[in-house]
Structure formats: C-alpha cells, structure tokens
Structure 1
Amino acid sequence: MSLACYLLFLALVAVERLAELVTARRHTAWSLARGGREYGRGHYPVMVVLHTALLVGCAVEAAYRPFLPALGWTALALALAAQGLRWWCVGALGPRWNTRVIVVPGLPLVLAGPYRWLRHPNYVAVVVEGVALPLVHSAWLTAVAFTVANAALLRVRIRCEDAALAGATGTRPPVAAGAAGGAP
C-alpha cells in the first residue's frame, strides 16, 4: 500500500470518527431528554486528544516507515474488523451508545449483540484498532505510545462506566453488561 493510499485510509477513519461524534451528539440529546446523567466528564477531553493523536501519529510516522505487506495487510484486516465490532456495539446499544458516559436511570442493561459475551466490547475494538491502524504502515512507535496511553485511559474509563451502571441499576454489572459509552 502506498503512503498516499494509507493517508486516504486514515482520512476515511477520521470521517468515520466524525460520524461517531454526530451519532453521539444525537444520542446525548436522547439520553438527557430521558433523565440521563453524565459521568466522567474530566477524562473525556483526554480521550479526544488521545484518539486524535493516534491519527496524527499514524500519518506522521508512516512517512518514515515502509509498507510491509504481511504486516500491513494483516493489520488492515484487523483495523477493519475493529470498525465492524465498534458499529455492532453502536447497533446493539442503539440510542444508549455514546462517546460520553451517560446512563439513563431505570433502563435495563443491554445484553444483546457483542454484550452477550463481553462486558466492554467497544473497548476491545479500540484496543485492536490502536495497535492495527498504525501497523498498517509499520508505525510501531505510534502503536506502542497509543497502547500505553490508552491502557491508562481505559482503566479510568471502565471504572467510571462500571460505577455509573452500578449506581443506575443498584447492582454491579454482570460480566456481559452493556457499556454506556464508546470511543470517538
């Protein structure tokens, strides 16, 4: 894959992120209209900066790295699979999916779609994408830096979501609990 094609792919991922933000804004209005409460506002700007830095880091580092077909095509397949998983999460949660942590009191936990098997499947998609997207064009420094920073952020984010869901339901979410949020 040429650098130009990779940069085009990154641009498409950026457009996808904008689609997520549009979806999240609509879902925020839906949730707030039903008494939803937002949690974890403090970490949200950090998440936005980190995910923006991932795309920028990929573009900058790829200019200095070769495309390695065995690694690149495998990473591309994983990045696309992560997108599929992310949008499956969006579909399963419906208007409850958000890039923010917003919980509408009284709604049951979502146990459909990928939430049947995983507690936070959207974050599986984020982790896979954070490694795979840079490695499409051998940007291993970006993959490592994002993965380390994202691990710290996800630790905060998942605790926030679990506490928010526990507060809304009065119980600790089961292993396959639906998450309130997503990633931009």
Structure 2
Amino acid sequence: MKNNMTFILLISLIILLRIGELILSKRNEKWLLQNGAIEYGQKHYPLIVALHVLFIISLIIEYSIKRTVPYNSFLLVSYISLLVFKTWVILSLGKFWNTKIYRIRNYPLIKKGLYRYFKHPNYMIVVIEIAVIPLIFHLYFTAAIFTLFNAIMLSVRIKEENKVL
C-alpha cells in the first residue's frame, strides 16, 4: 500500500509539474511573441508533447502490470534533487524559458546559471528524468524505450535549436 501511495503521489507531482511548465511556457510565449520572437521547430513539437504524454501513460501501465513494486529511495531523492536543477534552469532563462524554440533576433544568449557551464542543461535534465523516474519503481521497459525515443527526439530538437542559436 505504501508503494502504491508513493507511486500515485509521484505521478501526480509529475503531472502537476508538467502542467505548470506548460502554463509558464504559454505565458512566456506571449511575452516572447510581443517582443518579436520567431518560433522554430514547429514540425517536431507535437512529437515532443506526444512523447511526454505517452511516457506518463507508460509509467502508469507498467506499474499497474507489475502491481506493488518497491521503490528505490535513492533514485526518488535523486529525482527530487533534479527538480532543483530544473528550477535553476527555468529561473536562469526567465521569460526566455519555453517548451518551444523561440529566438529574438539580435538578443544575446543567456549565459547564467547552468548555461554558464553547459550549452543545453535543460535537455540534460530531461534525459536524466526520463531514465530516473521509471527506475524509481523498477519500470525497466518504460526507462529503456523512452530513453531511446527521447534520444532520437532530442537529436532532432538540439540540431534545430543549434541552427537557431
């Protein structure tokens, strides 16, 4: 029962965080467009959304099939810690953080926070999230399949973003 409640709480948290990210992204999108931003990568964006929705569905289905699965406390704490880095990335980009690719011509790139050290820290965090979240509950199928799908998707996404930047 404790494991089921932990799973339900974690999935609920993940869904709420994703919804919050989409709301923030939409708010930032309005500001970006008002300031002359141009959107890029529109063709692959629906695939990113589908990937993340199917990831959550896969987590729920695989967990349901396995029934009561003990959770890994270390990985759970690791995921919660990862949220600190994700928050740092979002705060570093401020109004420029978005789930889509936008660029305001002649505006300098943000070089603070983790962006001082890495070119794409947000994607590094997403890669780790996609692997760690399922592994918290030993959901190896979801971890393997979505790590692969995410790698393919990010290869397209990062190529597009690098062209824009």
Verify same fold: TM over 0.5: yes
Shift of 1:4: 2.7
Measured after TM superposition, the shift of residue 64 of structure 1 is 3.0
- 1:53 CA drift (Å): 1.1
- Name the CA distance, whole Å, in 1 between partners of 2:151 and 2:82: 17
Correspondence list, 1:133-152, <5 A: 133-152=133-152
Counterpart mapping for 1:29-178 below 5 A: 29-65=30-66, 66-69=68-71, 72-165=72-165
TM superposition shift of 1:81: 2.3
The residue identity in structure 1 corresponding to 2:159 is: R
Distance across 1 between alignment mates of 2:16 and 2:101? 22
**TM-score normalized by the length of structure 2:** 0.94
- The runs of 5 or more residues in structure 1 that have no matched partner are 166-184
SS of equivalent residue, structure 2 residue 65: coil
Residue 143 of structure 1: how far off its partner (Å): 0.4
TM-score in terms of structure 1 length = 0.85
Alpha-carbon contact 1:75-1:132 (below 8 Å) kept: yes
Q: CA RMSD in A?
A: 1.2
- Tell me by how many angstroms 1:107 deviates: 1.2
The C-alpha deviation readout for 1:18-40, integer Å capped at 9, x for no partner, is 00001000110111111100000
SS in 2 for 1:35: coil
Matches within 5 A, 1:12-27: 12-27=13-28
Letter in 1 for 2:24: T
- Once the 2 structures are TM-superposed, how far is the Cα of residue 68 of structure 1 from its aligned partner? 3.8
Distance 2:124 2:78 in 1: 11
Partner SS state of residue 102, structure 1:
strand
Cα distance per residue 1:32-66 (max 9 Å; x no partner) = 11110000001111000101111111111112335
2:3–2:70 Cα contact (<8 Å) kept: no
Task: Give the AA of the match of 2:78.
Answer: L
Provide, for residues 131-163 of structure 1, a one-character-per-residue CA deviation record: whole Å limited to 9, x for no partner. 111111111100001000000000000011111
**3-state SS of 2:137 partner:** coil
1:59-97 CA-partner distances (Å, limit 9, x unpaired): 11112335345xx11221222222221111110000001
